[in-house]
Amino acid sequence: MCPQTVLRRVDSLPDIRLLRNIIAEARICKPQPCPAGQDGQICVQHTPSPDSIVPAILSTRLLIIGAGPAGYTAAIYAARAGLKPVLVAGMQPGGQLTITTDVENYPGFATGVQGPELMEQMRAQAEHVGTELKYDIVTKVDLSRRPFRAECDSGDTYLAESVVIATGAQARWLGIPGEQELSGFGVSACATCDGFFFRGKDVAVIGGGNSAVEEALYLSNLASHVTLVHRRDTLRAERILQQRLFAKENITVLWDMATEEMLGTDAGRPVARALSLRHVKTGERRELAVDGIFVAIGHDPATALFRGQLDMDESGYLAVSPGGTRTNIAGVFAAGDVADKIYRQAVTAAGTGCMAALDAEKFLAEQEHAQEKAVA
């Protein structure tokens, strides 16, 4: 149920300072209409408390940064292991799945589940088993010594014996008219997630790098036809991928085309129906009728906070131990899309969230055992 006394919407966070002491309730406004926002947005009930505006320094054995599938799963495992984790949710509580509609590939839901609903269930489960959830944003970390230090936008500081980083990655969008309105209604940034909905249909993929070509190849096995729309006259994708692309009979490449607008149907809830394109050399405009539009211009891992402290690859994804979640700093673990440029799925994020919690639990047990031995 959407709370009726909504004062703030967490999706925009105009002033996080006002939110730091909310925080009685957070609910996804779906399917009930929300007085403050649109369907799918997360609303919080604001219960201000004047004396709690003083910044606090709080200690925890495990701090989890991020409230997507990775963070919530880490929280569920850590709480059940008795670690009493604190989870800081950031500017998008629930993570990327809160901006999508049908999720049909997360196990356990025979007929699929809405993204925001799935995340609401994860939140509830994490809190139910004892996670302390904070609606705040980590703005600075010091991982140079333990306890690790994380400062938040509210002014609060966490001193943590171990940290799980689950800050995710954001798909890059074009920022053109129609894109946001049609997102989840024929516009997607993930072929693995949404390609299934376009079986036997015509789709467009926008981009020219490896991601775009991989998305186009994946979709060519499902859609009847794929048009790759690229604003230049050559692709940046690896040669081997290009060879596979050009060998596909149901893929066409539109060169030198800038996408100016995504167009939706007129009647009822608009769904994507076409792209408005402009030839970058001739200026000629045309419409391309499609059933689905996939934006594939890359992702940005949310790792700016950790630059200079944690090892990363050239794209900014956190480097972790092979097949594990350990970073280059003992006691700091990474899970989900923030350390995964290949799979980027909710179920893989949840899987590595579980692994990170188990790794953190083992790390803390070893540390505590060593301390006990030193004292004895």
Ligand X SMILES: Cc1cc2nc3c(=O)[nH]c(=O)nc-3n(C[C@H](O)[C@H](O)[C@H](O)COP(=O)(O)OP(=O)(O)OC[C@H]3O[C@@H](n4cnc5c(N)ncnc54)[C@H](O)[C@@H]3O)c2cc1C
Given candidates 116, 292, 336, 351, which one binds ligand X under the rule CB under 6 A? 336
Does residue 211 touch ligand X according to CB under 6 A?
Answer: no
What is the closest distance, in whole angstroms, from the C-beta atom of residue 190 to ligand X in the complex?
5
Measured from the CB atom, the residue of 101 and 259 that comes closer to ligand X is: 101
Place of tokens 């001739």: 282
Does residue 220 touch ligand X according to CB under 6 A?
Answer: no
Q: Please, what is the end-to-end C-alpha distance for the chain in angstroms?
A: 53
Radius of gyration of the chain (CA): 22
What is the closest distance, in whole angstroms, from the C-beta atom of residue 101 to ligand X in the complex?
8
From 2, 34, 152, 193, the catalytic residue: 193
DSSP assignment, residue 121?
Answer: H
Core vs surface per residue 8-37: b (16+ CB within 10 A) or e: bbbbebeebeebbbbbeebbbbbeeebebb
Site string for ligand X, 93-132 (x = CB under 6 A): x-xxx-xx--x-xx--------------------------
Place of tokens 């309105």: 181
CB-based contact 44:10 (threshold 8 Å):
yes
What is the closest distance, in whole angstroms, from the C-beta atom of residue 187 to ligand X in the complex?
9
Does residue 245 touch ligand X according to CB under 6 A?
Answer: no
Does residue 292 touch ligand X according to CB under 6 A?
Answer: no
194 is an active site residue: yes
- In this structure, which amino acid lies at residue 305? L
What is the closest distance, in whole angstroms, from the C-beta atom of residue 95 to ligand X in the complex?
2
Measuring CA to CA, how many Å separate 150 from each of 155, 249, 313? 10, 52, 23
Q: Tell me which H or E stretch contains 371.
A: helix 346-375
Reduce the DSSP state of residue 234 to 3 states and report it: coil
Stretch that binds ligand X, among 11-19, 62-70, 202-210, 319-327 (CB under 6 A): 62-70
Number of residues interacting with ligand X: please give it, by CB under 6 A: 42
Measured from the CB atom, the residue of 6 and 302 that comes closer to ligand X is: 302
Measured from the CB atom, the residue of 106 and 218 that comes closer to ligand X is: 106
34 is an active site residue: no
> Which 343-372 positions form the footprint of ligand X (CB under 6 A)?
344-347, 349
Site string for ligand X, 161-200 (x = CB under 6 A): -----xxxx-x----------------xxx--x-------
Write the DSSP assignment of 301-341 as a string of letters: ES-GGGTTTS-B-TTSPBP--TTS-B-SSTTEEE-GGGG-S
Q: From CA 174, how far away is CA 181, in angstroms rounded?
A: 13
Given candidates 92, 114, 162, 325, which one binds ligand X under the rule CB under 6 A? 92
Does residue 23 touch ligand X according to CB under 6 A?
Answer: no
Does residue 207 touch ligand X according to CB under 6 A?
Answer: no
Measured from the CB atom, the residue of 148 and 245 that comes closer to ligand X is: 148
Does residue 76 touch ligand X according to CB under 6 A?
Answer: no
Spell out the SS3 assignment of 1-33.
CCCCCEEEECCCCCCHHHHCCCCCEEEECCCCC
Measured from the CB atom, the residue of 106 and 255 that comes closer to ligand X is: 106
Q: From CA 27, how far away is CA 121, in angstroms rounded?
A: 10
Q: From CA 22, how far away is CA 253, in angstroms rounded?
A: 50
Where does this chain bind ligand X (CB under 6 A)? Answer: 65-71, 88-93, 95-97, 99-100, 103, 105-106, 137-138, 166-169, 171, 188-190, 193, 302, 305, 336-338, 344-347, 349
The residues annotated as belonging to the active site are 190, 193-194
